């Protein structure tokens, strides 16, 4: 979204300067790139004013300037790094294992018809279980260290990637498969030429949805029992009634999700440039 909106506003600005310099101002105001920032700005400014006018507000929800100061402080003193490192490690390992097993098993169950049919109800059942509810069990099994968080994240990411891959394989146009087989493709060539590219959009949806899940998994695991991590950081400040500290942790987590999602959306755009919806947006930009 962000990348796209900024390119859109850039190109309209360029067009404006090239052809009608006098229109530049109005173009800027009307471009969605600027409008996107408005609600955020209004909220932050309003929040700051309310907190300044009524101190109780600042006590309950802190205020933007303090949160910013808090972030700068924890970065400057280096206090945040061990927490960030712990959370990122859990996320990276859990996410990778979950995503890889989700894609592989999604392929297996999606293409081996009998397996898919036998396990379909179980898949729906397990998908219905809120995975965070399993977090306490994982802590019992794997202790309060890295392993229990990795297990939680893995489970959450696995399911969202698995379900999407599975759905993708089930939606494949069988005529593509027939055409490719008639051309002389081996089983492996059908996988490479049809199954993989046709399923890719679904896999990417799963991978993108997996990012916030991996953050949730890490934080929940750290809430339950941990000695470091951003969830621990937030939990610790809750213990000391330090709302500002909580908001510092939350802001860092939110930033993390935005950055990771942005990276993956760039990858997605590259890989899926054959899709009309993506292309159409680029054309209008």
Partner 1 sequence: MDPIIELSKVTKTYRSKGKAVLALKDVNLPVERGSFTTLIGPSGCGKSTLLKIIAGIALPYEGRMRYKDREITSINTDIGFVTQDSNLFPWLTLIQNVELALKIRGVARDQRKRTAQKYIDTMQLSGFESHYPFELSGGMQKRGSIIRTLIYDPEIILMDEPFGPLDAQTRMVLQDELLRIWDSNKKTILFVTHDLTEAIALSDKVVLFTSRPGTVKRVFDVPLARPRNVFEIHNEKGFNEIYHEIWQYFKTEITI
Site residues, partner 1 (CB under 8 A): 173, 175-176, 178-185, 189, 193-194, 197-198, 200, 273-276, 279
Residue 204 or 211 having the CB closest to partner 1: 204
- The answer to whether the beta carbons of residues 226 and 83 sit under 8 Å apart is no
Closest CA to 90 of 248, 258, 220, 206: 220
Residue 36 or 200 having the CB closest to partner 1: 200
- The answer to whether the beta carbons of residues 151 and 130 sit under 8 Å apart is no
Compute the least distance from the CB of residue 103 to partner 1, in Å.
17
Four-residue CA torsion sign, 273, 278, 283, 285: negative
Compute the least distance from the CB of residue 210 to partner 1, in Å.
22
Compute the least distance from the CB of residue 62 to partner 1, in Å.
48
Compute the least distance from the CB of residue 189 to partner 1, in Å.
6
Structure tokens at 182: 């008639």
Residue 162 or 195 having the CB closest to partner 1: 195
Compute the least distance from the CB of residue 168 to partner 1, in Å.
13
Residue 22 or 277 having the CB closest to partner 1: 277
Helix, strand, coil share of the chain (percent; to 5):
90, 0, 10
Q: DSSP secondary structure string, 129-155?
A: S-GGGGHHHHHHHH-SSHHHHHHHHHH
């Amino acid at each position: 979204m962000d990348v796209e909106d900024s390119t859109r506003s850039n190109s309209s600005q360029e067009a404006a300067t090239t052809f009608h310099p006098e229109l530049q101002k109005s173009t800027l105001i009307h471009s969605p790139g600027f409008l996107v920032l408005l609600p955020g700005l209004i909220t932050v400014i309003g929040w700051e004013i309310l907190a300044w006018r009524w101190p109780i507000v600042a006590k309950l929800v802190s205020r933007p300037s303090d949160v910013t100061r808090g972030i700068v402080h924890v970065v400057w003193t280096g206090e945040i790094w061990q927490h960030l490192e712990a959370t990122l490690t859990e996320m990276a390992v859990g996410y990778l294992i979950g995503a890889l097993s989700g894609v592989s098993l999604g392929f297996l169950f999606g293409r081996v018809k009998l397996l898919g049919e036998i396990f379909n109800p179980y898949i729906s059942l397990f998908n219905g279980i809120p995975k965070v509810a399993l977090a306490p069990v994982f802590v019992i099994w794997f202790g309060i260290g890295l392993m229990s968080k990795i297990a939680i994240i893995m489970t959450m990411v696995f399911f969202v990637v698995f379900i999407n891959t599975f759905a993708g394989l089930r939606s494949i146009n069988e005529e593509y498969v027939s055409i490719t087989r008639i051309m002389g493709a081996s089983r492996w060539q059908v996988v490479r030429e049809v199954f993989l590219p046709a399923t890719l959009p679904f896999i990417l949806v799963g991978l993108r949805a997996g990012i916030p899940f991996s953050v949730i998994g890490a934080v929940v695991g750290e809430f339950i029992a941990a000695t470091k991590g951003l969830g621990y950081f937030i939990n610790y400040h809750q213990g000391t009634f330090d709302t500002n500290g909580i908001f510092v942790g939350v802001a860092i987590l939110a930033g993390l999700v935005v950055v990771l999602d942005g990276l993956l959306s760039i990858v997605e755009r590259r890989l899926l440039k054959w899709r009309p919806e993506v292309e159409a947006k680029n054309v209008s930009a």
